[in-house]
Each structure stands twice: as C-alpha cells, then as structure tokens.
A and B are shown apart, each in its own frame.
Chain A
C-alpha cells in the first residue's frame, strides 16, 4: 500500500470509528472543550478518553513498543483532521499524550515509563503543566519555586507557586520546573519533577477568566513531595528537559485546531448570510481575508511538518504561532461585528455563545505559549539573526 493509500485508509477508519462512537451519551461533547471551553463536561470528557483508548486512538504517534500506532507525521495530521471534522471534543489527555509521554519516552527511566505511560495511553491519568509563575511568564528562566532535597529519603520537597495551569483541578499529576540549586539564576540549577497532585502540600485555586469559566488555576506548593524516582533527567538539567518537552509538540494538533477554526468561520458566514451583513462590502472583504489567512495557515503548517524542512521553512515556521493566534483573535472580532448589537446579549443560543466565547477567549491566544511580543523577538533574533534584547541586571 502506498503512503497516500495508507493515509486514505486511516482516514476512513478514523471517520467511521468516530461516527460510531462520538454519539449517544458522548453526543453533547461534539465541538466542545476546545480552547476557552476547557472546563466543559470534564467527567464525560475523561470517559471519552477511555473510549478513544479502546479504539487505540490515544497516542497514535507513539511508537508501538509503548502502545502507540507509530503513525507518521502525515498520518497523525490525517487523524487530527478527521477528529476535528467529526467535532471531536478538546482532549483532556492532550498534555499527557503530546508532552509528558514523548518526554518520558526520550528522557525517562524504565521505571517512569512503566508507571506513567500506561495511564496516559489508557486515558486513566491526566496531567498538567507547571512552568509559568507569577514572576516567570515570558521570562521563564526567572523561576522561583524551590525544590529542596530531603536527605533522609532522597525525595524533593517543593515550595512555591505556579500559575495559569490549565486543567490542574482535573488532573492527577503535574510536571514542575523548579530551582534545585540554591543561589542559581536563569536556566541553570533547575530540576524537572513529576508531582502527584493529591497530597497535603498541593493546593489548587481556580482562576476565573474573561469568559466566566475557569480552566486555569494557581497551584501552590508547600513542601509538596516529589519522590526521588520522579526526577526526569538529572537535577540541574531541568531547563534542557523543559525545552525538549516544548519541542515535541511540533504543531501536529494545530491541524486539528484548524478544523475547528474553519467551523467557526463557517458559522460566521452562516450568520452573516442570515442577518444580511454578508451583503456589506467591508464585511465581505473581512470574511475573504479570514479565509485567506486560514488557507495560508494550513499550507504553512504542512510545510513546517514536512519531513525534510529546509532552512527557509524552519525560519518561516517561527511565524506560525504569531499568525494563527492573531488570525483567531481577529476572527473573534469579526464574529462580534457580524452579530452586531446582539453580540452583547447573553442567551442560550449555542451559536452566539460559541462566538462570544471565541471573542473573549481568543484574547488569550496571543498571550499564552509566548506572547506576541516574545514571538516577534524570537522571529527577529532566531529567524533573522538580529541582535538579542539586552538583559536587566536585577533579580
């Protein structure tokens, strides 16, 4: 079977499986739980993860020896697209599948792999990410959370605070970047720890966000215990592990995200036709521009995910986050302008609700995962080789 035929067969299999399973009690999950809607139906979405696992659709890109299907990038993209087309809900298991799993496969001990990979694969254990802190946002190296060695046990006792932790209140484990060497600064002296959330030293406080929901949290640690065997890599080596983890994502899930963007645009066009705004030349041009931006996004993602990207493509890939996040934010504004005065009225019309959430939550898109300003710095410095920003001297 050629690669193209293989992908086609995979698409058929995925579409059919999703049509058969994303139904009945799971039907309310369709198109839900995406960015900004992350706290919708949490328990049902956890069940859905187990349903996915029963069809071997969790972790399809993992190698077979760890329970995955070993799908190529092109195949994973095809699955993401089918998942998006079917209205598959936001994945509760995303952090485990896309970030923790690949990191453990690359850097974890055999013991860590055997204890953690099955829970991710089977949809029984959920993970969240403990990177950002109140004083370490864009400047991630400014982490202040401390990890202190307990000489009696070899465990690490963690004290400090993380913030913007998505779905921490629904997770079982958190991975934490903490400072393990007293007096160290910046990227040195950090440790990458896996910490069980259900213990006395961990407290979670939800943050109510702009749209009213609460999928982010503050996570407080007061001598929370990370067991000696739950250090990934060596103490002091945390920054390298943390950055490698971010590199695993590669944006494959963004192809699925684009399916959801396309549905949002379709919804806006549908409403514009109904309420007559589609007749207005300025709105028509803005819709056309949204369509253009989405096409460009798709082709850019396909080029970035190519098997052998040349130097130009790598440089252009640095644009991807800036492009999609600003595109999405603009789409939110377009949605409100198409709705007109009704955009301000809260009702149980699901279409309006979805677009209002889009409008509000897309403001976060240009902030998390590297703000616009940081993205432009990265593009200028790494992409164009322009001089780096000067660093302040104060701690």
Chain B
C-alpha cells in the first residue's frame, strides 16, 4: 500500500483549500451562524454545480468521476477546516454511497447523476446509533399498499435535513427486509428544524405518519443488506473523520497563531514550555489521526469487511477525540478571549461536540473494534 498523495490528489486538496479560503472564511461562516444556522446557498451551488465535488466518488457509469475515497477525504478535510456550511458530507458521503451500494436502476440512472451534477442535495435518515447496530435500530416501517407503500415512523436527528432536496429513508418491510425509500419535498413530510448549539450543520427531525409513497419511491435493488449498509456507513464515518481532522488542524493553527502573538511577562506565551508541550502533544495526536484516516481511505477500495470496518471506526475514534481536545485546548490557551463569541474557538468547540455524536460516539466504535479483534463479549 502506498500512502503518498499523488500530484492530482494534492492539487485537488490545494485548490479546494484556496476556494474555501475565499468563499468560506470565518466571516462567511459567522454570517450563517448569526442567522441561526443553515446552508450557505451560494457556496453550495458553486461547490455542487460548478466544482463538481459531489461527483468525486460516484462511479462514472452513474455520472460521477469514479475517484477513490482518498480524494473525498481530502475534500472533507478542507471543508472541516473551514467549517463550511453546506451539505457536502450528507450528500456525497452519506446518501451517494448508500445509493451506490444498494440502489436500483432509478437510483443509478436518475438520482446519482442528479447528485453528481450538483442538481440536488441529499441526506439519509439513519437512526442515531453506532454503525454496527444501525440496521437493527431502524424504526421506520413500510407497509405495501396497492402498487406503493405506506411509511410510518420518526427519526429524531437527521443531518442537513432542513434543506435536503432528497431524503433517503431506510424502512423495514413486514417481512423484515430493510428497503430504501427516496422522498422528495413534494410529499407531505413533517420536518422539524432543530435548534442546535453547533449552528454550522443543520439538523432536523423527520416524522412520517401513514405517508403514501408510490412504487417508484422505493429505490433499493434487493433490500439493504448488512454488509452493504456497513460499507455505505463506513464511507460516511470516514468522511466525517476526515472532516474532523481538518477542523482540528484549523483550530490548532488558530491557537498557534494566537499564542505566538500574545505577550505576557515580556515574552510570547508560545515560549512557555508548559504551552509548547501541550501543543506538541496535540501534534502527536494529529499525526496519528491523519495517518489512520489516510490509511483507511487508501484501503477503502479493497474493502475487507470486519477488519476494514474496524479501521474506519478507529479513524473516527481518533479524529473525534482529536478535534475535541484541539478545540478545548484552543479555548484554554486563548485565555479570557477563548470563551467569547468574538473569537473563533467556540465555533470549533461546538462542532467538535456535535460531530462527536453523529453516527455513533467513540465508545460505540471502541466496542465495535473490540468485537472485531477480540471476538464478541459473550464468546470471549
């Protein structure tokens, strides 16, 4: 396995970074945050339609570019660094992979090309649990009726739901199969916009009450199998880890810049060893997390089931913990201004806590890793 980034990959990363430097600065993010959260529509349009970021990992036969997980991870890293307020993660890392893994003809010929072309944003109404239990936890039910289905159930927290054009809902059929439904905004969905501490990623609650969905609303080929769900979710989990990694780097750099200028006792506070060592320890954590994210991304195309899944979970554990530590250290090392609204650390701190809990907190991932390498608790 070669973990060197290719020249093309570096170019993707660097160009994306330059674009977001200009179009998703702290000022841009604060405009969204001060308005109570939401999507930066202009940014999203450019990213999705003109820059084609959603197409990155969608297969070529579905209108995408067919690139590997590494390219998508690099984009997510850059997005995380900028706290970019747009539904790239939910669209490209949650919804698209699930359609790729389980989708039928309509999914492949209509929905995926629409995502790749930046025409629609999308999300998935997964239950908010650790990935291994995701299918078991599905509470939305689908009852066949005539040619179509009736959907019933609630999903408490769905990322980017308020603005999503397409909402993918895994739902259990009476025979136990989990089917995938593609709902658009013409249907009478009840969507409650949730007020969130982290205003950089909108969340919504989805409520389906005896919702009639026509036959073509079902877009899976043969149900969502456990391994397909696992692989699709792993894409989302790894994408999120990459995003957290980028956010961590940015908040660490923010801290380094501040302590390099703040003078006390006649010297910059960056010159104190107590502070240097804390920053250095974060660098160690960063190097570990980034190596694992890149390693897991490079191995993603040769998916090998449980081992690969454990590696993705591992990347997520390190990235979650890294981002939180980087953000809390940022507040601490900024001193008094660290807990003001005016300085940026709180934006990262809130993002850190919110993303920590998306698709399973570290404890659940540690359980999954332990199961994979030791064996299930009961059998051990």
Tell me the interface secondary structure of chain A in the complex.
Answer: helix
Chain B interface size band reads 35 or more
- Whether a CB of chain B sits under 8 angstroms from the CB of A350 is no
A contact residues around B260 at 8 Å (CB): 386
- Whether a CB of chain A sits under 8 angstroms from the CB of B35 is no
| Interface contact B4-A387, CB-CB below 8 Å | no
Q: Considering only CB atoms, which chain B residue lies closest to A272 in the complex? A: B374
Among the 9-residue stretches B108-116, B274-282, B323-331, the one with 4 or more Cβ atoms under 8 Å from chain A is B274-282
| Interface contact B366-A285, CB-CB below 8 Å | yes
C-alpha gap A381/B377 in the complex (Å): 45
- Whether a CB of chain B sits under 8 angstroms from the CB of A295 is yes
B contact residues around A269 at 8 Å (CB): 373-374
A contact residues around B267 at 8 Å (CB): 387
Given contacts A284-B377, A308-B4, A310-B10, contact A323 B287 (CB under 8 A): yes
B contact residues around A302 at 8 Å (CB): 1, 3, 291, 295
Closest chain-A Cβ to B334's Cβ sits at a distance in Å of 16
Q: Considering only CB atoms, which chain A residue lies closest to B373 in the complex? A: A291
Closest chain-A Cβ to B271's Cβ sits at a distance in Å of 4
- Whether a CB of chain A sits under 8 angstroms from the CB of B286 is yes
Encoded as 1 (CB less than 8 Å from any A CB) or 0, chain B from 291 to 321 comes to 1101100000000000000110010011000
| Interface contact A377-B276, CB-CB below 8 Å | yes
| Interface contact B380-A303, CB-CB below 8 Å | no
Given contacts A295-B292, A296-B318, A380-B279, contact A287 B370 (CB under 8 A): yes
| Interface contact B292-A279, CB-CB below 8 Å | no
- Whether a CB of chain A sits under 8 angstroms from the CB of B283 is yes
A-B contact count (CB 8 A): 138
| Interface contact A279-B276, CB-CB below 8 Å | no
C-alpha gap A308/B6 in the complex (Å): 10
| Interface contact A291-B310, CB-CB below 8 Å | yes
B contact residues around A288 at 8 Å (CB): 366-367, 369-370, 373
C-alpha gap A24/B283 in the complex (Å): 47
C-alpha gap A279/B379 in the complex (Å): 9
Closest chain-B Cβ to A317's Cβ sits at a distance in Å of 8
- Whether a CB of chain B sits under 8 angstroms from the CB of A95 is no
Contacting residues of chain A (269-284) with chain B, CB-CB under 8 angstroms: 269, 272-273, 278-279, 281, 284
Which of B5, B280, B370, B380 has the most CB atoms of chain A within a 10 A radius of its CB?
A: B280
- Whether a CB of chain B sits under 8 angstroms from the CB of A157 is no
- Whether a CB of chain B sits under 8 angstroms from the CB of A124 is no
| Interface contact A296-B256, CB-CB below 8 Å | no
The 3 A-B residue pairs with the shortest CB-CB distance, nearest first, are A299-B295, A380-B276, A316-B287
Given A288-B366, A296-B295, A380-B280, 17 additional A-B pairs, CB 8 A: A269-B374, A273-B374, A278-B375, A281-B367, A287-B374, A291-B369, A295-B292, A295-B311, A295-B314, A296-B289, A306-B2, A306-B4, A307-B4, A316-B286, A319-B286, A386-B271, A389-B273
* Interface residues in chain B, defined as those with a beta carbon under 8 Å from any beta carbon in chain A: 1-5, 10, 256, 260, 267-268, 270-271, 273, 276-277, 279-281, 283-284, 286-292, 294-295, 310-311, 314, 317-318, 363, 366-367, 369-370, 373-375, 377, 380
* Interface residues in chain A, defined as those with a beta carbon under 8 Å from any beta carbon in chain B: 269, 272-273, 278-279, 281, 284-285, 287-289, 291-293, 295-300, 302-303, 306-310, 315-320, 322-323, 373, 375-377, 379-381, 383-384, 386-387, 389
